[in-house]
Amino acid sequence: MPILKDKNILLGVTAGIAAYKTANLVRLFIKAGANIKVVMTPASKDFITPLTLSTLSKNPVYSSFTDKEDDNAVWNNHVELGLWADLFIIAPATANTLSKMVNGASDNLLLATYLSAKCPVYFAPAMDLDMYKHPSTKESFKKLLEFGNIMIPATSGELASGLVGEGRMAEPEDIVEFIEKDILKKLPLRGKKVLITAGPTYEAIDPVRFVGNHSSGKMGFEIANAAANLGAEVILVTGPTHQKLEHTLIAIKPVTSAQEMYDEVHKHYTDCDVAILSAAVADYRPQEIAKNKIKKKDTTFTIQLEKTKDILKSLGEQKQNQFLVGFALETNNEVENAVGKLESKNLDLIVLNSLQDKGAGFGGSTNKVTFITKSKSIIEHQLKSKTEVAQDLLQLILKSIDA
């Protein structure tokens, strides 16, 4: 699951025997695509070496407020560390560290960083049975949860003392799974189904040739990725493209022609909450498709074309509770034409591209768009990456469906 991909994760390691498990925890975070930095309490270095965690995380390990370089002291800025992190995981979290977190003590770098962190903080308790059951420890758990921290429950098992019971730190695989599920259930599109179209369509002339366009599909794929990262279940219906995307919440449905896209979209439209049609669907197709390759004979060649079915209009006619988004690529009278399309196809939002704008349109990694809402509000954006455009679009949709 790519929920942790590109996340900045700060791992805090305290002085418990379970610290040895953090080597595997770092590897799992790296495997999930996260960026890892480690901050250790000085005493935790008795249980696992900074060299091990530095090698696995591919970053320096921090354990004191200053590092000595030659004769100069280099300050390890706890504020910068706290602000860098998207997630802060303290594992193992000992009774001593938990108590200090509750009381605002900052006698080591890890605790000072905790007090500076603006991101979600997870803690995975690890201690012996009697320590885990002690009223002061239970009070620490209660206070930390009231502060908004998130507890990864300890499990029962054999402990370092030889006792068997509660207090064993969750296994690294379970910690990663817990964090991913916790993030996922809080995502704003969790439980929503989003239907997206992308890419061109190819309309066959003969078994070799086709009528098509220059759409790369990149915009649609970025929208699909952005929607899935917000927790949506995504159906991505795509024409021929070289774009690749792997996400457990995205089901890719490849098609070739406009008719195939029409059929596939209508299979899923009834059940979706949001439909975003960014594909560049052919408006016309050859009336007849030659069974064999057409030989080059005459100096001119005429193909009789007929209209394809208007997918977007058909969805607008059938719309019930879906939020329907269309795209308009224009070369003149851009806003006027886009508003006309918005009204005639019963859309809730239209995304206007102009081929007059440098960096916009097919093929590239950037786009310059204008959003036009059902109430005719016009929201212009500067040239941005298609990744950013996708995020802007999803945020506007979220505001609209929550309104």
Catalytic residues, by residue number, are: 213
Residue type, 311: I
Cα–Cα dist 130/149, whole Å: 23
Cα–Cα dist 298/319, whole Å: 48
56-69: string of b/e by CB count within 10 Å (b at 16+)?
bbeeebbbeeeeee
Cα–Cα dist 309/316, whole Å: 13
**Residue 248 C-beta-side C-alpha neighbours within 13 Å:** 10
Based on the number of CB atoms within 10 Å of its own CB, is 288 exposed (0-12), middle (13-18) or buried (19 or more)? exposed
Cβ atoms of 210 and 202 closer than 8 Å: yes
Based on the number of CB atoms within 10 Å of its own CB, is 292 exposed (0-12), middle (13-18) or buried (19 or more)? exposed
Q: Residue 126: count other Cβ atoms within 10 Å of its Cβ.
A: 25
